[in-house]
């Protein structure tokens, strides 16, 4: 069979399949399996100094005096520094963006000066020859404090009786209103109106590797090399350069292996900036790794929303309008440089997103509190938007006595309605809600589960089925951050180099934190060039080596970085053919690259191994025509432009059993059908979904950063803050619909956040479905046994 008889492209895309669509195991997993990965804390440097931070014990207090005299007498101490000393080397920042109109936040320093605004804020740094020496000395710092009024409750913050930052005039960081103007009329003419208030607990990422940075300043060349567990090395290069006043070209950021990130490691942290400044001040390498207690106190937290939502619908089950009021609290500062206004903004953008209604009103306030800061964590705003959409949709279906799957079928945007503009202004290129719903109901055996549920209810076994349709932001264009003035790249680049041996080195600006970036780039590069995958070596995470780019966040790595790799691979293939034509003295149109050889395009006959082509190009170019110069290194970039985002869609389902006596929820099954466009590696895509779903389940059932009224974190350790463990988790069935984006030739959209976006909603709806016969309903995440028992007790007292 000739090649011409084989399909050249996946439906709707322009990709030679090659390795695309194959479940290739990750080549870079081998070192991790032997414990031979290199995380930041594994690096060993001569003259390495270690920093430990003296952190505020109070949620809000003036620093009246810091006395380092005892600390400085300890063995191994190199120095102790307060905020003013560090500020000499590191300028403060203000986290606002121009496109979030009216957003405000006070200047923030690497080390607090004068005032600590949350418990755990770094107020001094001690540098020593070992971490334990530094920690011993921190314990000997004497501080005098003046406690200030503490605001922990977001409603109280919004009222503004006590101001956290006097200069700002109120406690509001950002507000947004949106109104299609027909909302009141839609509620007027509605046959049914449902409303509810949903609460989302503050939680955090709990990356198993704490935040980690090793900064190495070279005074001889005024250069800074930063080994940093970060998702965005070029963003950090820019930030270190500007705030430490070192030319950008002299700053190099290298990630090494990163032990989980999920959005935690994409922000600027004051203690990390201080570590870099200390390296400059001390002219030696300085390392900081957040221990677990510090991680709970100072890694960004997320969520903490209170949302009132109303839905209007007709008696035939047509949704007419959504109306919401979101209040969210972010701690004392907006987080640099992405701001803490994005999560609330996403709630406004995305709520109601899968459905056809044309009327929508939203009001949203982001307020300051004296708790740790919150910012973008995996799925940013989506878990909230999806949960309140799907929670209120279920309530509407219930009120109409309609099956929740049928209610969704009537309201999901039709698969042939695209391109489509949602009332919030977001644009969908092409989604597949109905295909996904149909597939989900089929994969999970929906009707059979409903029958079983009804049967078991007679025996007072309370099972529930919850559905959650979703849309997700992926492949963001410059509209996300760049237009607001943030120096965060929306484009990414890939360089491919054919080595003399016929190997291909791929260097890409998207980073790897274990999600499989390097594996899929190898698949794409091998397919595009025409070599076998073991010939590919991928390098990421080094600003000194890779092209410039955004890194890993907002489900952008595969879709944006992958397209850059594809384009670079095609260009390299074309250049290889130029060299081959010169060597073979044939027309390049007759040639192609396949299986590590230059072949005859028509007959498939192998003409020249790439190793021989490389040998001639690099070592014997004298044998080629004098005017010919081979170009076997190529770079290509890709920026999504036409749409603000390549929206994906999907739907999840959860099956739970609630024990009405103990309040415990048992997860019996979870299903997810996702359309993320071209699936490059089905195994890795499924694993992104599963990992994301389990993080979403954590938010739904277990995880919450609990604060006392004095702003003290009550459960900041792994024994008290519960995370999902293997024993409680269900098996998760994944399936895909593939609607490639036509904005790229690869056609891939993102898949990293969908699981986290939809799982809390699916679990919540399943729990409420289970509780329905008891007349109970819960809307405050996480759904702890205590909250579920409270819900049941309240229902009983109402009855």
Query: What is the Cα–Cα distance from 254 to 364, expressed in whole angstroms?
Result: 38
Q: Is 35 a binder of another protein (CB under 8 A)?
A: yes
- Closest among 632, 641, 625 to 572, alpha carbons compared: 632
Query: What is the Cα–Cα distance from 347 to 503, expressed in whole angstroms?
Result: 46
Contacts of 36 (CB under 8 A, 6+ apart): none
Task: Among 683, 735, 774, 795, indicate the residue that binds another protein (CB under 8 A).
Answer: 683
Rounded to a whole number of angstroms, the minimum distance from the CB of residue 688 to another protein is 9
Query: What is the Cα–Cα distance from 745 to 15, expressed in whole angstroms?
Result: 7
Q: Is 136 a binder of another protein (CB under 8 A)?
A: yes
Q: Is 693 a binder of another protein (CB under 8 A)?
A: yes
Q: Is 225 a binder of another protein (CB under 8 A)?
A: no
Rounded to 5°, angle at Cα 180 from 178 and 183: 105
Phi first, then psi: give them for residue 717, nearest 5 degrees. -155, 165
- Please say whether the beta carbons of 504 and 536 come within 8 A: yes
Distances in whole angstroms, Cα of residue 584 to Cα of each of 59, 579, 616, 623, 633: 74, 9, 11, 11, 21
Looking at residues 338 to 367 of the shown chain, list those that interact with another protein (rule: CB under 8 A).
none
Contacts of 270 (CB under 8 A, 6+ apart): 108, 109, 110, 111, 112, 121, 122
Task: Among 2, 5, 6, 44, indicate the residue that binds another protein (CB under 8 A).
Answer: 44
Region binding another protein by CB under 8 A among candidate stretches 201-209, 466-474, 490-498, 499-507: 201-209
Residue nearer to another protein on the CB measure, 154 or 289: 289
Task: Among 237, 351, 515, 552, indicate the residue that binds another protein (CB under 8 A).
Answer: 515
Residue nearer to another protein on the CB measure, 74 or 600: 74
Task: Among 687, 703, 704, 753, indicate the residue that binds another protein (CB under 8 A).
Answer: 687
Rounded to a whole number of angstroms, the minimum distance from the CB of residue 39 to another protein is 7
Rounded to a whole number of angstroms, the minimum distance from the CB of residue 124 to another protein is 21
For helices 517-529 and 562-584, the axis angle rounded to 10 degrees is: 30
Contacts of 737 (CB under 8 A, 6+ apart): 432, 435, 436, 439, 673, 674, 675
Rounded to a whole number of angstroms, the minimum distance from the CB of residue 475 to another protein is 21
Q: Is 193 a binder of another protein (CB under 8 A)?
A: no
Residue nearer to another protein on the CB measure, 37 or 92: 37
Query: What is the Cα–Cα distance from 426 to 643, expressed in whole angstroms?
Result: 9
Rounded to 5°, angle at Cα 439 from 407 and 420: 65
Rounded to a whole number of angstroms, the minimum distance from the CB of residue 618 to another protein is 34
Map residue 311 onto helix, strand or coil: strand
The two tokens of residue 755 are 């699981």
- Closest among 318, 304, 39 to 173, alpha carbons compared: 304
Q: Is 659 a binder of another protein (CB under 8 A)?
A: no
Task: Among 177, 248, 710, 731, indicate the residue that binds another protein (CB under 8 A).
Answer: 731
Phi first, then psi: give them for residue 300, nearest 5 degrees. -55, 140
Task: Among 209, 272, 343, 394, indicate the residue that binds another protein (CB under 8 A).
Answer: 209
Region binding another protein by CB under 8 A among candidate stretches 241-249, 253-261, 306-314, 772-780: 253-261
Q: Is 717 a binder of another protein (CB under 8 A)?
A: yes
For helices 382-400 and 404-411, the axis angle rounded to 10 degrees is: 110
Residue nearer to another protein on the CB measure, 32 or 168: 32
Q: Count of alpha carbons within 13 Å of 682, Cβ hemisphere only?
A: 11
Binding mask 95-134 for another protein (x = CB under 8 A): -------------------------------------x--
Q: Is 551 a binder of another protein (CB under 8 A)?
A: no
The two tokens of residue 795 are 């229902």
Region binding another protein by CB under 8 A among candidate stretches 33-41, 410-418, 493-501, 561-569: 33-41
Count residues binding another protein (CB under 8 A).
Answer: 58
Residues in the chain: 799
Residue nearer to another protein on the CB measure, 23 or 424: 23
Phi first, then psi: give them for residue 438, nearest 5 degrees. -60, -45
Looking at residues 747 to 766 of the shown chain, list those that interact with another protein (rule: CB under 8 A).
755
Region binding another protein by CB under 8 A among candidate stretches 56-64, 207-215, 219-227, 415-423: 207-215
Q: Is 169 a binder of another protein (CB under 8 A)?
A: no
Task: Among 83, 205, 640, 760, indicate the residue that binds another protein (CB under 8 A).
Answer: 205
Q: Is 690 a binder of another protein (CB under 8 A)?
A: yes
Q: Is 723 a binder of another protein (CB under 8 A)?
A: yes
Q: Is 719 a binder of another protein (CB under 8 A)?
A: yes
Residue nearer to another protein on the CB measure, 525 or 684: 684
Task: Among 545, 586, 718, 772, indicate the residue that binds another protein (CB under 8 A).
Answer: 718
Q: Is 36 a binder of another protein (CB under 8 A)?
A: yes
Region binding another protein by CB under 8 A among candidate stretches 280-288, 344-352, 600-608, 715-723: 715-723
Task: Among 249, 725, 775, 796, indicate the residue that binds another protein (CB under 8 A).
Answer: 725
DSSP assigned state of 56 = -
Q: Is 262 a binder of another protein (CB under 8 A)?
A: yes
- Closest among 618, 405, 343 to 497, alpha carbons compared: 618
Query: What is the Cα–Cα distance from 127 to 138, expressed in whole angstroms?
Result: 9
Rounded to a whole number of angstroms, the minimum distance from the CB of residue 201 to another protein is 18
Region binding another protein by CB under 8 A among candidate stretches 34-42, 387-395, 421-429, 491-499: 34-42
Q: How many CB atoms lie within 10 A of CB 453?
A: 19
Radius of gyration, alpha carbons of the chain: 28
- Of the chain, the end-to-end C-alpha distance in Å amounts to 73
Task: Among 37, 182, 500, 669, indicate the residue that binds another protein (CB under 8 A).
Answer: 37
Rounded to a whole number of angstroms, the minimum distance from the CB of residue 758 to another protein is 14
Rounded to 5°, angle at Cα 286 from 280 and 288: 125
E strand or H helix at 591: strand 591-594
Residue nearer to another protein on the CB measure, 75 or 149: 75
Binding mask 271-310 for another protein (x = CB under 8 A): --------------------xx------------------
Q: Is 153 a binder of another protein (CB under 8 A)?
A: no
Task: Among 134, 173, 206, 634, indicate the residue that binds another protein (CB under 8 A).
Answer: 206
Rounded to a whole number of angstroms, the minimum distance from the CB of residue 26 to another protein is 7
Task: Among 461, 483, 533, 729, indicate the residue that binds another protein (CB under 8 A).
Answer: 729
Could you list the beta-strand ranges (E) of 499-579.
504-508, 536-540
DSSP assigned state of 250 = G
Map residue 127 onto helix, strand or coil: strand
- Please say whether the beta carbons of 475 and 429 come within 8 A: no
Q: Is 736 a binder of another protein (CB under 8 A)?
A: no
Looking at residues 62 to 81 of the shown chain, list those that interact with another protein (rule: CB under 8 A).
75
- Please say whether the beta carbons of 187 and 386 come within 8 A: no
DSSP codes of every residue in 730-798: PPEEEEE-----TTSSS-B---SSHHHHHHHHHHHHHHHHHHGGGT----EES--HHHHHHHHHHHHHH
Query: What is the Cα–Cα distance from 52 to 69, expressed in whole angstroms?
Result: 16
Residue nearer to another protein on the CB measure, 728 or 790: 728
Residue nearer to another protein on the CB measure, 292 or 409: 292
Query: What is the Cα–Cα distance from 214 to 40, expressed in whole angstroms?
Result: 7
Binding site for another protein (CB under 8 A): 25-26, 29-39, 41-42, 44, 75, 132, 136, 205-209, 257-262, 291-292, 513-516, 683-684, 687, 690-695, 717-719, 723-729, 731-732, 755
């Amino acid at each position: 069979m000739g090649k011409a008889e084989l399909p050249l492209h996946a439906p709707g895309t322009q990709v030679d399949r090659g390795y695309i669509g194959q479940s290739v195991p990750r080549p870079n997993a081998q070192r991790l399996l032997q414990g031979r990965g290199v995380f930041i804390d594994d690096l060993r440097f001569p003259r390495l100094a270690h920093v430990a931070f003296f952190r505020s014990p109070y949620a809000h207090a003036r620093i009246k005096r810091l006395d380092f005299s005892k600390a400085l007498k300890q063995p191994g101490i190199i120095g102790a520094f307060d905020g003013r000393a560090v500020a000499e080397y590191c300028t403060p920042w203000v986290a606002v963006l121009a496109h979030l109109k009216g957003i405000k936040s006070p200047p923030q320093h690497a080390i607090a000066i004068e005032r600590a605004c949350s418990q755990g804020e770094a107020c001094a740094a001690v540098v020593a020859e070992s971490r334990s020496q530094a920690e011993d000395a921190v314990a000997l710092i004497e501080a005098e404090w003046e406690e200030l009024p503490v605001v922990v409750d977001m409603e109280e913050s919004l009222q503004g009786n006590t101001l956290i930052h006097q200069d700002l005039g109120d406690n509001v960081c950002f507000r947004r209103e949106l109104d299609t103007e027909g909302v009141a009329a839609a509620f007027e003419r509605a046959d049914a109106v449902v409303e509810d208030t949903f609460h989302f607990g503050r939680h955090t990422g709990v990356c198993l590797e704490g935040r980690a940075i090793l900064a190495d300043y070279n005074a001889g060349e005024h250069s800074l090399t930063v080994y940093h567990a970060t998702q965005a090395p070029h963003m950090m290069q820019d930030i270190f350069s500007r705030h430490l006043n070192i030319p950008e070209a002299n700053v190099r950021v290298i990630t090494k292996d990163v032990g989980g990130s999920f959005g935690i490691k994409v922000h600027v942290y004051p203690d990390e900036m201080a570590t870099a400044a200390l390296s400059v001040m001390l002219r030696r390498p300085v390392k900081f790794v957040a221990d677990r207690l510090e991680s709970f106190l100072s890694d960004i937290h997320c969520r903490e929303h209170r949302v009132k939502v109303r839905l209007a619908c007709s008696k035939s089950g047509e949704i007419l309008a959504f109306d919401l009021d979101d209040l969210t609290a972010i701690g004392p500062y907006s987080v640099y440089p992405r701001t803490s206004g994005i999560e609330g903004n996403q709630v406004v953008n995305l709520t109601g997103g899968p459905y056809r209604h044309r009327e929508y009103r939203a009001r949203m306030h982001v307020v300051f509190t004296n708790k740790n800061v919150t910012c973008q964590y995996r799925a940013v705003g989506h878990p909230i938007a999806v949960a309140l959409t799907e929670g209120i949709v279920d309530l509407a279906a219930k009120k109409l006595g309609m099956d929740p799957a049928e209610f969704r079928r009537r309201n999901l945007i039709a698969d042939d309605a695209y391109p489509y503009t949602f009332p919030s202004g977001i644009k969908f290129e092409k989604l597949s809600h109905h295909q996904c719903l149909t597939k989900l109901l089929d994969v999970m055996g929906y009707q059979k589960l409903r029958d079983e549920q009804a049967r078991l209810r007679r025996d007072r076994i309370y099972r529930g089925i919850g559905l959650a349709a979703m849309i997700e932001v992926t492949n963001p264009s410059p509209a996300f951050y760049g237009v607001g003035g943030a120096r965060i790249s929306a484009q990414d680049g890939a360089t491919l180099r054919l080595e003399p041996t016929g190997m291909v080195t791929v260097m890409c600006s998207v980073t790897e934190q274990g999600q499989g970036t390097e594996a899929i780039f190898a698949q794409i590069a091998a397919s595009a060039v025409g070599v076998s995958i073991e010939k590919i070596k991928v390098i990421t995470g080094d600003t000194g080596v890779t092209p410039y780019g955004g890194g890993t966040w907002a489900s952008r790595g595969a879709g944006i970085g992958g397209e850059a790799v594809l384009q670079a691979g095609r260009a390299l293939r074309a250049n290889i053919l130029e060299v081959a034509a010169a060597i073979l003295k044939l027309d390049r149109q007759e040639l192609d690259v396949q299986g590590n050889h230059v072949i005859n395009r028509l007959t498939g006959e192998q003409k020249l191994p790439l190793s021989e082509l490389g040998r001639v190009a690099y070592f014997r170019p004298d044998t080629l025509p004098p005017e010919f110069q081979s170009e076997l290194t190529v770079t290509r970039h890709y920026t999504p432009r036409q749409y603000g985002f390549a929206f994906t869609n999907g739907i999840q389902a959860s099956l739970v059993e609630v024990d009405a006596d103990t309040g415990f929820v048992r997860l019996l099954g979870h299903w997810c059908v996702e359309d993320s466009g071209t699936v490059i590696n089905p195994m890795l895509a499924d694993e992104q979904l599963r990992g994301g779903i389990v993080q979403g389940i954590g938010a739904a059932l277990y995880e919450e950063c609990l604060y006392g009224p004095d702003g003290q974190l009550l459960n900041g350790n792994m024994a008290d803050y519960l995370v999902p463990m293997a024993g409680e988790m269900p098996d998760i069935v994944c399936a895909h619909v593939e609607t490639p984006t036509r904005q790229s030739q690869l056609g891939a959209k993102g898949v990293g956040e969908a699981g986290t976006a939809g799982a809390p909603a699916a679990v919540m709806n399943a729990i409420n479905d289970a509780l329905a016969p008891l007349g109970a309903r819960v809307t405050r995440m996480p759904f702890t046994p205590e909250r579920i028992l409270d819900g049941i007790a309240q229902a009983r007292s109402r009855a």
